[in-house]
Structure 1
Amino acid sequence: QFGTPQDIYDHPATLFVADFIGSPAMNFLRFEGTAAAGAETVTLGGIPIPLPQLQEPASGQLVLGVRPEHVALSDSAPLRGRIEAVEYLGTTQIVTLSTPHGQVKARTPSTAPAKTGDLAGLALNARRLSLFDATTGRALRTAANAGVHHG
């Protein structure tokens, strides 16, 4: 994949690239689903998750990618996870949660309440999500990454 580090970070062309860049790495939520071209949500365990408008249809084994800084803890979010660990980093903290779709790390302000063992809602920044085909590893085209060059 070619592009500026910012482009590659924001819109990785493949799961491999997404996993390789960033610390902590991008979170991958695995699910099976279908979405039409033009869709602005995918359904994760019965929960509609908004994302940049799809430019192509998606179906089968899919992976939703979200960077830790684009995950917020929110009581009102329907997507839930159990807090496994909290790593304090001064002004921020890395909160590790387990969900039915895989582990999620959230980079949140250290003032945000997070206690190991608690259930928390996960609010994902819709404009910042990537959707991948789990079989090929390729990022599906969305309104957000339409300009990305896939090498």
Structure 2
Amino acid sequence: MAEIQLRNINKRWGSFVGVDNFDLTIADQEFLVLLGPSGCGKTTTMRMIAGLEDATEGEIIIDGKVVNDLDPKDRDVAMVFQSYGLYPNMNVYDNIRFPLKVRKVPENEHDERVRRASAMVELDEFLHRKPAELSGGQRQRVALARAIVREPNVFLMDEPLSNLDAKLRVSTRAQIKNLSHELKVTTVYVTHDQIEAMTLADRVVVMKQGKVQQVGTPTDIYDHPANTFVASFIGSPAMNLMDGTLSGGTFSGDKVSIAGLPGADGPVTLGFRAEDATLAEGSAGQIMAPIYTIELLGDATMLTVRAGGQLVSVKAHKEFRAKIGDMISFNVPVAICHLFDKESGTRIDAT
């Protein structure tokens, strides 16, 4: 068992607050993703779990034991970094084996554990090679195998895919997902890539400027963002956000009118996702605007218009054809609309 409890963790450097009152329990065997833009505190949080940074305040508890004063080597965690951190003079086999030597694991166990770890990430045919002879994806798999061979209580992964090209990111992501299923080890994964978060996580923690904005399953966060920051950070494309006024259940904005919405009268921000909008005939839609850009995606056509003072995305079928400047109109079902407070950005739930 390796439950991790972070009790009111703070990290400050002078007056600068890196992590502000982070309070969360990570369940045994859970795959938790810390998601947010650069500088939001996600890597600092991970480094405090690892013992590479000291918490200014709060307790870090792993497997029922307070570890604040323990050295990293005594916390039974294995880290995979953005930089692969391989030893260039060692071949793949010895790179994977190195943690076993450091931890003084009996030598008669080394070969079996190294080969089991290498097999999990499909490196068997590369064990004799040096890091310089490997591709970026292969090097990252060596780093993964070196973490696996430790058989730790906790995996900590700090943006491990960010140095890989798009195709390798997809295949290595699938490998990490499968490893998580096989190994059943508590994992904390840091990324700024919301697709990685959505596809890998059991739960996602969205952070901004050191503060937790929302914690939930990928589906929860996608379908019910807590505020406009989360709404704009999750999804590809991000949720459309339009400023306007709610009056008598009707949202009104520039080139926009949507009736039947719950909520008190006043200024609000309306949110909806591109895939939830549907094109209407002629000018019969709730939103009408000229096409700003057209992107052919293969399985769909992404249209962008300028409405409500914002660029708004709408996903059309793949056969849709039009030109920039053509006028289109579209509808947004009331049931999938999101309303946010104009000033605070906080979600307004129907009562």
Q: Specify whether residues 86 and 45 from structure 1 end up closer, same or farther in structure 2 by C-alpha distance, changes over 3 A only.
A: closer
> Structure 2 residue aligned with 1:18, among 224, 231, 234?
231
Q: Specify whether residues 141 and 100 from structure 1 end up closer, same or farther in structure 2 by C-alpha distance, changes over 3 A only.
A: closer
Q: Specify whether residues 135 and 123 from structure 1 end up closer, same or farther in structure 2 by C-alpha distance, changes over 3 A only.
A: same
Report Cα offsets for 1:64-113 as digits up to 9, x if no partner: 10111012221221421110111101120111111243211111111223
> Structure 1 residue aligned with 2:306, among 80, 93, 98?
98
Distance 2:306 2:323 in 1: 13
| Structure 1, unaligned runs of 5 or more | 144-151
> Structure 1 residue aligned with 2:318, among 110, 130, 133?
110
CA contact (8 A) 1:95 1:114 kept: no
Residue equivalent to 1:146: none
Larger gyration radius, structure 1 or structure 2: 2
Distance 2:320 2:350 in 1: 31
Amino acid at match of 1:22: G
- Bigger helix share: 2
Residue equivalent to 1:27: 240
| Structure 2, unaligned runs of 5 or more | 1-213
What TM-score do you get using the length of structure 1 for normalisation? Answer: 0.79
Residue equivalent to 1:73: 279
- Bigger strand share: 1
Whether 1:123 aligns to 2:336 is: no
Distance 1:2 1:46 in 2: 35
Percent of pairs identical after alignment? 32
Amino acid at match of 2:271: G
- Give secondary structure in 2 for the equivalent of 1:112: coil
> Structure 2 residue aligned with 1:3, among 212, 216, 219?
216
The alpha-carbon deviation at position 134 of structure 1 amounts to 1.8
The alpha-carbon deviation at position 9 of structure 1 amounts to 0.6
Residue equivalent to 2:350: 142
Whether 1:44 aligns to 2:253 is: yes
Q: Specify whether residues 46 and 139 from structure 1 end up closer, same or farther in structure 2 by C-alpha distance, changes over 3 A only.
A: same
Report Cα offsets for 1:28-72 as digits up to 9, x if no partner: 1112x2446xx4x32334854045x52x42413x21101110122
Instruction: Work out the number of aligned pairs and report it.
Output: 136
CA contact (8 A) 1:81 1:122 kept: no
What TM-score do you get using the length of structure 2 for normalisation? Answer: 0.36
